Chain A
Amino acid sequence: MAMNAADIERMIKESLPGAKVEIRDLAGDGNHYAANVVSAAFRGKTRIQQHQMVYAALKGRMGGELHALALQTGVPEE
């Protein structure tokens, strides 16, 4: 099982409207990606909560279909 970068980006943007999402394919096997997600919805949230919001956007695929997603999250500059 695998996912492609476009699906990951679409799912994150569906759950976090207006988010800036950059996906890098780490291994070319559809299973190991890095993602940088910047969203105003992260404001005031801990790093763990921000990552959990991204995992929730992937609707259970994280850790299953998608083995690895190295995440960096942040809020847009004011």
Chain B
Amino acid sequence: MSDINTWIDDVVKSNDVVLFMKGNAQMPMCGFSGRAIQILSHLGVPFKDVNVLESEELRQGIKAYTNWPTIPQLYIKGEFVGGSDIMMEMFQSGELKAMLDEKGVPVQA
């Protein structure tokens, strides 16, 4: 495993909820990343934000890690959940909250 792959693997496995995004939680740099942040803050779930714009190697490495070509990417307990569309779909159907509950991730909402 390349070192960026190992680094990603470690981050997703050592944090309950991880959002790989453009920008950070305080300042998303893309509409889709912003929408992902809104969903997570609406659910009141603490998460680790990772700004993929900080390194091109990370930006490409995360896409290879899951064979998923776009950013943002959400991980819950090490499992890739989806990008902005899937997050929105799951949020609106209540599936995202149910998944968090099922995986024992505390939410405030």
Seen from chain A, the residues whose Cβ lies within 8 Å of a Cβ on chain B are 47-48, 51-52, 55, 60, 62-64, 68, 70-72
Interface size class of B (residues with CB under 8 A): 10 to 19
Residues B63 and A51 in contact, CB atoms below 8 Å apart: no
Contact partner of A62 (CB less than 8 A), chosen from B69, B82, B86, is B69
Per the bound structure, the CA–CA distance linking A62 and B67 in Å amounts to 11
Per the bound structure, the CA–CA distance linking A62 and B83 in Å amounts to 13
**Residue of B67, B70, B71 with highest tally of chain A CB at under 10 A:** B70
Per the bound structure, the CA–CA distance linking A63 and B80 in Å amounts to 18
Per the bound structure, the CA–CA distance linking A48 and B82 in Å amounts to 6
Query: Chain B contacts of A62 at CB under 8 A?
Result: 69-70
Asked if B68 is an interface residue, CB under 8 A from chain A, the answer is: yes
Given the known interface contacts A63-B63, A68-B32, the answer about A55 and B86 at a Cβ–Cβ threshold of 8 Å is no
Asked if B85 is an interface residue, CB under 8 A from chain A, the answer is: yes
**A69 nearest CB across to chain B (Å):** 8
Given the known interface contacts A48-B80, A68-B32, the answer about A63 and B85 at a Cβ–Cβ threshold of 8 Å is no
Per the bound structure, the CA–CA distance linking A60 and B63 in Å amounts to 11
Residues A51 and B86 in contact, CB atoms below 8 Å apart: yes
Q: What are the 7 tightest A-B residue pairs by CB atom distance, in nearest-first order? A: A63-B69, A62-B69, A63-B70, A70-B85, A71-B85, A55-B69, A47-B86
